[in-house]
Amino acid sequence: MTPLPKLSVIEVNFDAVVDYDGRLVILVDENGKLETLGGRINKLMKGALDRVLASGDFQSLALGKVLSLPYPVGLKAQGLTIVKLNQNSGVEEASACGVEIAKAIECKDILILCGEFKKSANLVEGLILRNYNYLDQKTNTKSTAFNLQVMVQSVEEHVDKINEKLAVIDGVFFTRDLINAPANVLTTSSFAEQLSALSDLGIKVEVLDEPELMKLGMRTLLCVGQGSDSPSKVVVMHWNGGGKEAPFAFVGKGVVFDTGGISLKPAAGMEDMTMDMGGAGVVAGTMKALALRKAKANVVGVVGLVENMPSGNATRPGDVIKSMKGDTVEVINTDAEGRLVLADILWYTQERFMPSGMIDLATLTGAIIIGLGHEMAGVFSNNDKLSNQFIDAATAEGEGAWRMPLTQAYDKQLKSRIADMKNVGGRAAGSITAGQFLKRFVKDDMPWAHLDIAGVASIAQESAFSPKGATGWGVRALNRMIADNYEGVEDEPGG
């Protein structure tokens, strides 16, 4: 697994700066003003820092950008990176600046001289998120933790905020590692094993195997995986950090590989279907983050783990399957499998846990990419309050999300001649009809949101906070939503 840096928060110490042999980072405001520590460093460098700050290179540097000097005179450091950042910079500016530092320095040992800068936690967050690199499958290059020190005026003022960010980043990295893993490595069984290991953090984990799923009546979930040699599983994760209130529920689609089944996908690009368990990956990462920071809330995560393969035993187009709820579904396209997985676990989650609210996540439709690209996830909800809570949290974390419509006008596209419904409604409004399908498995009084993350879970180009590949989108937003709305709150979220 990709390790976090070995991080320490230390008080300002000039001698430690002089003797440091890694990479130094110093924050300087747009006017070139140095704090006391910076002034002492400049004196040791015989005024070289002043000359740089007076140069056109620094004057033309945009706010939040960096300028690096190799082997600075008078210091043992391998390099000095100057960051143009004002003391009153906000959260977004600090996080973006952390990204710029990561790009400039990569994974070398770093000492950041934050001094009196108040947003050190956000700076660190951006730096670490961008420094992620998935190397688990490379034989000659393995992930190693780098050393990161943050020098501040008051450790007490910063250390708790930084450690809380680290807990959430650990969850993000867990999600990224899961989504980046190839399907022969992340099988349904190995996925369940990794989730079971979360019990070490105080999460209660249950793994439901096929005989129990059949007994529960999860036939739509089981029909997706019946063509594969990998056994289908449902994993339930409980974090009980609150009081006696009902838990909030996260539900995730975990298709570890999606060939499309009998409705076989084209060969080109099929290798990317290792990311079709992205919803389950985000649920797993969020649960880990909540446990690591000891969230004062009750949260349950339920994920359905299957593999969609063609075989003599695979579900066929035209088959009719009865769901756990009891409704029958005519399978028109076996490549619309994620909604079949979610249908059963959504119903199971409500029946067993009676949650105060519920959000499902799934790399569900290519149509959402046509509509929103790779910048936004689609948000579908039956509850304005819950929808706004999530979108506000996503916006605060810089994770794009946009609300899409849900209305009965689209239900006619799901009508089946021989069953209660079809599993697809045609090309028109494909993401919306998928949401309408899921809504049939949500009880009328249940605050619920469906997040279609097909465009944001894994991307071909680097994003602001991640290299290309898995982004970990959603972990930070869901964590913030719980922190802002459900910790220590016993009444229901919906309204």
pLDDT in tens, 306-345: 999 999 999 999 999 999 999 999 999 999 999 999 999 9
The answer, yes or no, to whether residue 491 has pLDDT greater than 80, is no
In angstroms, rounded to a whole number, what is the distance separating the alpha carbons of residues 461 and 366? 17
The answer, yes or no, to whether residue 274 has pLDDT greater than 50, is yes
Place of tokens 């063609």: 310
CB of 347 closer than 8 Å to CB of 404: no
Q: Which two tokens stand for residue 209?
A: 């195997």
pLDDT tens column, 343-387:
999 999 999 999 999 999 999 999 999 999 999 999 999 999 999
pLDDT tens column, 217-247:
999 999 999 999 999 999 999 999 999 999 9
Based on the residue annotation, tell me whether 265 is a catalytic residue of this protein.
yes
**What does 298-320 look like in DSSP terms, one character per residue?**
EEEEEEEEEEE--STTSPPTT-E
Which DSSP category does 77 fall into? -
3-state secondary structure of 212: helix
The answer, yes or no, to whether residue 469 has pLDDT greater than 60, is yes
Query: What value does the mean pLDDT take over residues 389-400?
Result: 97
pLDDT tens column, 76-113:
999 999 999 999 999 999 999 999 999 999 778 999 99
The answer, yes or no, to whether residue 19 has pLDDT greater than 70, is yes
pLDDT tens column, 113-160:
999 999 999 999 999 999 999 999 999 887 778 999 999 999 999 999
In angstroms, rounded to a whole number, what is the distance separating the alpha carbons of residues 234 and 236? 7
Percent of the chain at pLDDT exceeding 90 = 95
Query: What value does the mean pLDDT take over residues 22-30?
Result: 96
Distance of CA 273 to the CA centre of its chain: 18
CB of 403 closer than 8 Å to CB of 391: yes
Indicate the CATH number for domain 6-155: 3.40.220.10
Please tell me the predicted confidence (pLDDT) of residue 489.
Answer: 66
Q: Which two tokens stand for residue 131?
A: 């420094």
What number of other Cβ atoms are within 10 A of residue 51's Cβ? 12
* Amino acid found at 57: D
Report the alpha-carbon angle 479-452-299, nearest 5: 30
Please tell me the predicted confidence (pLDDT) of residue 490.
Answer: 56
In angstroms, rounded to a whole number, what is the distance separating the alpha carbons of residues 345 and 341? 7
The answer, yes or no, to whether residue 485 has pLDDT greater than 90, is yes
Domain 173-485: CATH superfamily is Zn peptidases (3.40.630.10)
Please tell me the predicted confidence (pLDDT) of residue 492.
Answer: 46
Please tell me the predicted confidence (pLDDT) of residue 108.
Answer: 80
CB of 237 closer than 8 Å to CB of 304: no
Q: Which two tokens stand for residue 5?
A: 């840096």
Query: What value does the mean pLDDT take over residues 394-408?
Result: 97
In angstroms, rounded to a whole number, what is the distance separating the alpha carbons of residues 456 and 141? 27
Please tell me the predicted confidence (pLDDT) of residue 1.
Answer: 81
Based on the residue annotation, tell me whether 412 is a catalytic residue of this protein.
no
The one catalytic residue among 119, 165, 339, 476: 339
In angstroms, rounded to a whole number, what is the distance separating the alpha carbons of residues 467 and 63? 22
The one catalytic residue among 40, 65, 118, 265: 265
Place of tokens 């130094």: 24
| C-alpha distance across the termini of the chain, in Å | 41
3-state secondary structure of 361: strand
pLDDT confidence tier of residue 450, bands split at 50, 70 and 90: very high
Query: What value does the mean pLDDT take over residues 71-75?
Result: 93
Residue spans in the chain of domains classed CATH 3.40.630.10: 173-485
Report how far apart, in Å, the C-alpha atoms of 305 and of each of 106, 196, 255, 493 are.
Answer: 35, 13, 6, 28
Query: What value does the mean pLDDT take over residues 65-71?
Result: 95
Which DSSP category does 2 fall into? P
Percent of the chain at pLDDT exceeding 70 = 99
Please tell me the predicted confidence (pLDDT) of residue 461.
Answer: 93
Average pLDDT, the chain: 96
Query: What value does the mean pLDDT take over residues 383-404?
Result: 98
Please tell me the predicted confidence (pLDDT) of residue 495.
Answer: 38
Residue spans in the chain of domains classed CATH 3.40.220.10: 6-155
